[in-house]
Structure 1
Amino acid sequence: MSLSRRALLSGCAAVPLAAPLSRFALAEISIGPATLTTISDGHLTLPGGFIFDPMPQEQLLPLLEKAGISQETLTPDCNVSLYRDGPNTVLFDAGSGPDFQPSAGKLTEELEQAGIAPEDVTHVVFTHAHPDHIWGLLDEFDDPLFSNATHMIGRAEWDYWWNPETVNTIGDARAAMAVGAKRRLEAIEDAVEFFSGGEEILPGVLAVSTPGHTPGHMSFEVRSGSQAVLILGDAIGNHHIAFMRPEWPSGADQDAEVAASTRIALLDRIVADNLQVAGFHLPGGGIGQIERTGDTFRFLPEAS
């Protein structure tokens, strides 16, 4: 077993007894014998136009007023899903790390408060390679932070960010995202595992292709018998317009038309199959249920 420089520097300290994880969880549910927990990576601060600009403005404003959402500034939560089934301790995404926004990048300290060291994580599974999901992959020495973990990502997502032309075609506003993603993927190039939609990547964990937000975006169905939770990533990226008008384009999505089709299909499936969900940017810890009313939906947090 090889240790990162971070592990060598921190490993000399005595490790205290772990506190119960539920003290630090945003939300936590059981899936058969396993547990799914959301841990905070902080929150983002975004201009409202980042999401709202492509939407029909005259129809948008009354919906934002009804939901109590500012048109000017958004502060979405960042909920990293942690799945533990005994032998495996799995993180879905790695958070922002220290280099994206000062209000985010809190995952490591939250895990440590819960008695989980980065070296305890057995798998890091990425929904996609946007900064708030993958920039936390590296430690302060540019080594993989989760030094003992197997890193897993969808093949299509990897190919998109690995392509040297992506930085030239993604647009000026997202060029830094492409550079940052490539640097982090290079750090795990020799130790990454790929998968495609429809594959069971770990026992009870099924990859679900949900493109649009990024070209190779993945969600994950975690199941034990009749119990199942769909880890959404950013396939449903907010708790307001994405539910009230899922067909509307969002400026956060790289392919808004494909993302809208994905969102509509996901919402229909979630309601039809009575699935619980865990959303990276949903409120109340991000774990909950989705309710349909006519052509609209709403998110009901488990923690509320």
Structure 2
Amino acid sequence: MRLSRRHFLTAAAGLAASRLWAGSTLTGPGFRLDTLSDGHLVVPPDFLLGDMADAAGYLARHGLPQDRLSPPCNVTLLRDGVRTVLFDVGAGPDFMPTAGKLSEALALLQLAPDEVTHVVFSHGHPDHLWGMLDDFDEPVFPNAEHLFGAVDHAYWTDPATPGTIGEARQTFAVGAARRLQAMAGRLALFQDGQEVLPGVVALMTPGHTPGHMAFLLDGVLIAGDAIGNAHIGFERPLHRVPSDQEPGQGAETRARLLDRAAADRLTLVGFHLPEGGIGQVERAAEGFRFVPA
């Protein structure tokens, strides 16, 4: 399996100037995997660090700002000569102005949305799902089969979810339900352990959302948000972070995945990991570390 770094330049809509978007490429037997930038999020540090006692010192040690963090958003594109597959679809135009840039990244690869054959979702959060529909509630990827984990689908389409998810995430629930309902006749549901596409196996990784899914492909772990950042998530995987809807379960899942990735020498692809999001997991004196490709 060969790893290479690539950078590409794209214009960011709504910004005064272009910026450099970084992605990575991985090639394996019979497939090519690219990460495409959907832009980045802007979140307060406590959204990722929670009530960490030494948060200010931790941010300083990693050269991170004290007032806000800007995690990248890496959409995974898989091509095997027959299928053109997206894992998640980014935020679309309605979530954050710094995200929703997937169409520009696809254009740089000279890929049209109607060439995508499959869309596979890790979970129903806005930065992964809201790019599903255009301004007229029509599918952005009209020829693609859309595949969604059954447990997470049941959660986001449950009428009780907006009332139980908490005020800060109510718009997440309403937005997910609207989009999933609009796609009701086009969605196929899958279960834990199912081969969703030839050679691609779904892996239940709950905690970030109740039915979050990761995917295994020939020595590659496409982790979605089960491993949400390259700092606290690796160094202190059992630390409970508010970005997970069930922080305790999310921490257990994260520690288990990192241990497996390190032991089995899996190549990790993470939605919010830096430098294109592709790399290796290594054990460290405490916890783990992410080594970008």
- TM-score, normalised on structure 1? 0.88
Identical columns (%)? 52
Contact in 2 for aligned 1:198/1:209 (Cα 8 Å): yes
Count of aligned residue pairs for this structure pair: 275
Of 4, 7, 30, which aligns to 2:27? 30
- For 1:173 and 1:288, the matched residues in 2 are separated by 32
CA shift digits 1:116-142 (9 cap, x unpaired): 111000000000000000000001211
Alignment of 1:1-304 (within 5 A): 24=8, 26-53=23-50, 55-58=51-54, 60-223=55-218, 228-302=219-293
Distance 1:23 1:64, change over 3 A: closer
1:3 is matched with none
- For 1:171 and 1:209, the matched residues in 2 are separated by 23
Instruction: Please give the secondary structure, in 1, of the residue aligned with 2:66.
Output: coil
CA shift digits 1:226-277 (9 cap, x unpaired): xx11001000000100111111000100000000000000000000000001
- Aligned AA for 2:95? F
- For 1:46 and 1:286, the matched residues in 2 are separated by 18
Instruction: Please give the secondary structure, in 2, of the residue aligned with 1:257.
Output: helix
Contact in 2 for aligned 1:166/1:178 (Cα 8 Å): yes
RMSD: 1.2
- For 2:224 and 2:104, the matched residues in 1 are separated by 21
- Aligned AA for 1:42? G
- For 1:208 and 1:166, the matched residues in 2 are separated by 23
Q: Which has the higher contact order (CA 8 A, sep 6+)?
A: 1
The structure whose Rg is larger is 1
CA shift digits 1:158-210 (9 cap, x unpaired): 00000000000000000000000011101210111111111111111010110
TM-superposed CA distance for 1:61, in Å, is 3.4
Instruction: Please give the secondary structure, in 2, of the residue aligned with 1:212.
Output: coil
- For 1:214 and 1:23, the matched residues in 2 are separated by 31
- For 1:103 and 1:301, the matched residues in 2 are separated by 23
- For 2:59 and 2:118, the matched residues in 1 are separated by 38
- For 1:241 and 1:63, the matched residues in 2 are separated by 9
- For 1:196 and 1:146, the matched residues in 2 are separated by 23
2:13 is matched with none
Instruction: Please give the secondary structure, in 2, of the residue aligned with 1:243.
Output: helix
Instruction: Please give the secondary structure, in 1, of the residue aligned with 2:175.
Output: helix
Structure 1's unaligned 5+ residue stretches are 1-21
Contact in 2 for aligned 1:155/1:195 (Cα 8 Å): yes
- For 1:201 and 1:106, the matched residues in 2 are separated by 26
Instruction: Please give the secondary structure, in 2, of the residue aligned with 1:74.
Output: coil
- Aligned AA for 1:56? M
- For 1:264 and 1:71, the matched residues in 2 are separated by 26
Structure 2's unaligned 5+ residue stretches are 1-5, 9-21
